Amino acid sequence: MTPAGRDRLRVWSPLLAISGAAWALLAVWPGGMAMPGLCAASASWAASLGSASLASLRLALLIDPPARIAAGWALMLAAMMTPLLAAPVRHLRERSFAGRRARAITLFVAGYGAVWMAAAAALLALALLLRLVGGGPWPVLALAFALALIWQASPAKQRCLNRCHALPELPAFGWAADRAALGFGLTHGGWCVGGCWALMLVPLLAPGAHLAAMAGVALWLLAERLDRPAPARWRLRTPAKALRLVAARARKAAAIRPLLPRRVS
Amino acid sequence: MTYTRKNVWELGGDWADPILWYARGVAAMKAKPLSDITSWRSYGAIHGLDTRLWTQLGYLSAHDKKPAAADVKRYWKQCQHGSWYFLPWHRGYLIAFEANVRAAVVAAGGPADWALPYWNYFKAGQNALPPAFASSDWPDGKGDNPLFVTQRYGPNSDGKVFVPTDQINLGAMGDPDFTGVASGGSPGFGGVDTGFEHGGQVHGGLETQPHDQVHGLVGGGDPTNPQLPGLMSDPDTAGLDPIFWLHHANIDRLWEVWRENPPAHVDPPDANWLKGPANVGERIFSMPMPGGTPWDYTPGDMAGLPPLGYTYDDFSPAAPAVQPAARLTNLGVAPAVAAAMVRGPAMASAKNVELVGANQGALPLVGAEARTTVKLDTAVRAKVSASLAAAADTGAPDRVFLNLENVRGLSDATSVSVYVGLADGEAPADHPERRAGSLSMFGLRKASLLDEEHAGKGLTFVLEITRIIDALHLAGGLTADQLDVRIVPTRPVPQGAGITIGRVSIFRQGR
C-alpha cells in the first residue's frame, strides 16, 4: 500500500466501522425509526384533521417522546453521514498536533452534529407541512421526490457540494485551534445540510421501508461526494464517478470469473 | 528505430538542423485550425484550457470551431499535476506530440529520425533561453519565428528569459521514494497516490523543483497586468509555448536519471499506478497521433525508455550523487557505521508524519518580502531533537518539512525563495545556507477558484528543511521556541496578485 493510501485507510476504517455499527443498531432498535415513524403517523392526522387523528399524533409522541426522536435522528446521522466526513476528518487529523487530534475531531463533529440536529427540527416541520398540503402518503412522496429532483439539479446544490470539499487552514495552538475546529464543523455542517436536505425528506416521507430508503439516500450522498467540485449551474446531476468506479469493478470481476475453477456438480 | 533526444545547447549552432526542423514542425501544427485535434492549440488544450485566459491572451476567438465533442471529451484538459501520474502522463504527452511534429517534419522533407531536443538549464552556461526561441526572426522568415512567443516574460517579467540557477535545484533526485504523502511530510520524488488528477493540492518533489519553478521563471507575468501570466506560468496556457516541450523533455530525462542513480530508485509497483486511473473506471490517458488516431497508454507502459523507442544523449547524474550516509556522519555517526545503517531497514521510509509547529493567521504575500514566525510545540520539538541526537543508535533521524498551506491567489506568475531561521537583521542573500528552497505557484489561480476542482483550497507547498534543522541542532541544539520564516519573491508581488498563505507549518517525518 502507498503511504497516502495508508493515511486514507487510517481514517476510513474507523468511520466505516462507526457507520456500520449505527446501521446495525438502526435495524434492530425501533427508536431509530422514531422520526420517520412520527411523520408516517402524522399522515392520517393530516388527511382528516380530525380529533381522532390528532389523538393518534399525540399517541405517537407519547410512544416516541422528543428525546427518543432526537436519539433516533442522531443514530441515523451517524449511520448515513459518517462516511461523508472522511476528507474533513483526515484534514483535521493531519493538520493538528498529534496530542490534539482527538479533541479537534470531537469539536468538529460537535459543530457538524449541532447543525444537523437543528436541521432535524426544520426538516420535521417541513415534512409535516408537506403532509398537510400533499394529501395521501403517495402524493406526498411524489412531492418529496419532485422537490428533491429540482434541488438536485439546481446550481445551489452544486455550490453546497463544492463547499463540502473545502478544507480550510487550521490554527494549531490553544483556543484558536479549538474555535477553528468547531467553526469548521459548523460551516461544514451547514453546507452538508444544504446539499442533503431535499434527499433526506424522501425517507422521512416514505410511507414505509424507511431503513431501505435511508440506505439508498446514504449511498447516493456518498456517491455524489466522490465527484469533483464543478461550476454551479442547472443540470441533471448523476454520481458519474461512482458509477464508473462500480462499473470498472464489475468488469474486473467479470474478467476474473472465467479464470476461477468451476464447481463440480 | 530509436530516436535520440539531444541537448539543445549542444546541437552545433543556434539554428542547427534539429531545432530548425522543430520550428518548421511547430509552424505546420500552428497552421492547422483549432478544430483539428492534432493542431498546435488543440495540443495545448490537452494540457489545459481556460477560455477566458486564452481569449485574453489572443489564442481563442469567437470564430474558432472546437474539434468534435467526443474528441474534446477524450483528449482535452487531461494534464496530471499534484499526482503520482505527473511523470508518466507527461511522458506519453511528449511522445505523442513528438510523433506529430515528426510527421510534419517528414512531410516537409526533413529527417525521419527527428527527435525533440531538451533544455538542461542546470548545465553550466546553458541556463539562458536557447537563442532560437528568443528572436522573432528565423532562417525561414522575418518576424514570424514559430518558436518565439511574446508572452514569455522571464524571472523579472522584463522579457529577459533565463533560469536563475540559484533558484532551481535537484534536491528531489535524492528522494529515495517515488511516492509519498499529502499530510505534511515528503510527497515523494514522483508525487502522491491520487486518482485521475488534473490539479492536485500537493505537488511531487521533481514536479515542485525544478518543474514548477522553471515554468514560473520562464513564463513570468505581464508587467502591465498582475493577473495575466506568461504562457508558461499557468498550466492552462503552458502547452502553447514551444519551449514547454523542451523543458518537459528535460523533466522526462531527469525521471530516467533518478531511476538509474542509484538503481535502487524504483517506480511504484502498485496496480493503481501501473494500470493508471482507467483501471478503476476514471479517465483514460489518451493522445491523438498523426492523422488523429487515438493512442491510449498507462503509466506502466511508460516505465522504461527502450520499449518506447527513444533515448537521451546524456543520463549522467544530474546532481552530486546523494549520499544518505553523509547526513548520518554529519550527525556524529562513525562513517563505517553510517554506511552500514543506510543499507539497513532503519532507513526505510518513515511512516509517522506529525505537526511540529505553525504560525498564526494567514500571511498576505505582497511586495518584496513576507515574514512570519512558526511557533514550535515544545514536546514535539523535543522529539525531533531526540531523534537527531539518537541518530547513532537508530540510524533513522527525523526528516523535517516546511509547509506553505492553502496558498491562494489570482496569478500563477509568482516565484519565491523561502528562508528559515534567519535572525532579524540578517539579509537572506547573505545566508544561502538558510534557504529552504524556491518554488513557483504553478496552478495557483485555478486551485483558488471556489467552484472549480479544488473548491478553493489553493495549493500546499512542501519544502524539506532537514538540512537547516540538522545545522541548528549541531550549532547548539534545537531549543528555540519558534523559527522565523521569510518568503522572498523573485520580483515584488503586486497587490493585484492577491496572494495569501493560509498557514506556515513545520512537520516531522520519522518513527
CB contact under 8 A, A232 and B451: yes
Contact with chain B for residue A65, Cβ under 8 A: no
pLDDT at A263: 53
pLDDT at B339: 79
Contact with chain B for residue A58, Cβ under 8 A: no
Is residue A200 within 8 A of residue A144, CB to CB? The reply is no
Which residue, among B308, B333, B199, B219, has the nearest Cα to B255 in the 3D structure? Answer: B308
Is residue A185 within 8 A of residue A111, CB to CB? The reply is yes
pLDDT at A50: 46
The span from the CA of A237 to the CA of A217, in Å, is: 14
pLDDT at A261: 57
Which residue out of B183, B279, B282, B381 would a mutagenesis test of the A interface target, given it has the greatest number of A Cβ atoms within 10 Å? B183
Average pLDDT over residues A129-141: 84
The span from the CA of B381 to the CA of B333, in Å, is: 21
The set of residues, in sequence order, having a beta carbon less than 8 Å from that of A225 and lying 6+ positions away, is A84, A161, A164
Contact with chain A for residue B334, Cβ under 8 A: no
Chain B residue numbers touching A98 (CB-CB < 8 A) = 354-355, 380
Which residue out of A95, A184, A225 would a mutagenesis test of the B interface target, given it has the greatest number of B Cβ atoms within 10 Å? A95
- Host H or E run for residue B394: helix B391-394
Write down the H helix ranges in A154-264. Answer: 155-163, 174-205, 210-226, 240-256
Using alpha carbons, list the distances in angstroms from residue B41 to B32, B78, B149, B284, B462: 9, 14, 14, 21, 33
Average pLDDT over residues B142-152: 97
CB contact under 8 A, B379 and A99: yes
Chain B residue numbers touching A4 (CB-CB < 8 A) = 179-183, 192-194
| Distance in Å, alpha carbon of B487 to nearest chain A alpha carbon | 18
ipTM score for this prediction: 0.93
Question: Is residue B10's pLDDT more than 60?
Answer: yes
Q: Which of A131-140, A190-199, B43-52 has the lowest mean pLDDT?
A: A131-140
Chain A residue numbers touching B455 (CB-CB < 8 A) = 162-167, 229
| Distance in Å, alpha carbon of B234 to nearest chain A alpha carbon | 20
Q: Which chain B residue shows the shortest CA-CA distance from A172?
A: B358
SS3 B408: strand
Using alpha carbons, list the distances in angstroms from residue A22 to A32, A71, A203: 9, 12, 17
Average pLDDT over residues A91-107: 98
Task: Please report, as a single letter, which amino acid is at residue B410.
Answer: L
pLDDT at B212: 96
The span from the CA of A201 to the CA of A125, in Å, is: 11
CB contact under 8 A, A173 and B183: no
Cα-Cα-Cα-Cα dihedral sign, residues B133, B134, B136, B139: negative
Which three three-digit cell numbers place residue B161?
528569459
CB contact under 8 A, A5 and B193: yes
Stated length of chain A: 265
Which residue, among B161, B177, B186, B140, has the nearest Cα to B247 in the 3D structure? Answer: B161
Contact with chain B for residue A3, Cβ under 8 A: yes
| Local confidence band at B323 (pLDDT 50, 70, 90 cut-offs) | low
Each residue's pLDDT tens digit, B209-264: 999 999 999 999 999 998 899 999 999 999 999 999 999 999 999 999 999 988 88
CB contact under 8 A, A7 and B181: yes
Owner of C-alpha cell 433516533: A72
- Host H or E run for residue B439: strand B435-440
Each residue's pLDDT tens digit, B156-214: 999 999 999 999 999 999 898 999 999 999 999 999 998 777 767 899 999 999 999 99
- Tell me the β-bridge partners of B229: B221
Average pLDDT over residues A88-96: 97
Each residue's pLDDT tens digit, A201-213: 999 888 788 899 9
Q: Which chain A residue shows the shortest CA-CA distance from B198?
A: A228
| Local confidence band at A34 (pLDDT 50, 70, 90 cut-offs) | low
Q: Which chain A residue shows the shortest CA-CA distance from B502?
A: A169
The set of residues, in sequence order, having a beta carbon less than 8 Å from that of A235 and lying 6+ positions away, is A153
Task: Please report, as a single letter, which amino acid is at residue B364.
Answer: P
Is residue B296 within 8 A of residue B276, CB to CB? The reply is no
Each residue's pLDDT tens digit, B273-295: 999 998 888 899 999 999 999 99
Is residue B81 within 8 A of residue B443, CB to CB? The reply is yes
| Distance in Å, alpha carbon of A214 to nearest chain B alpha carbon | 27
pLDDT at A264: 47
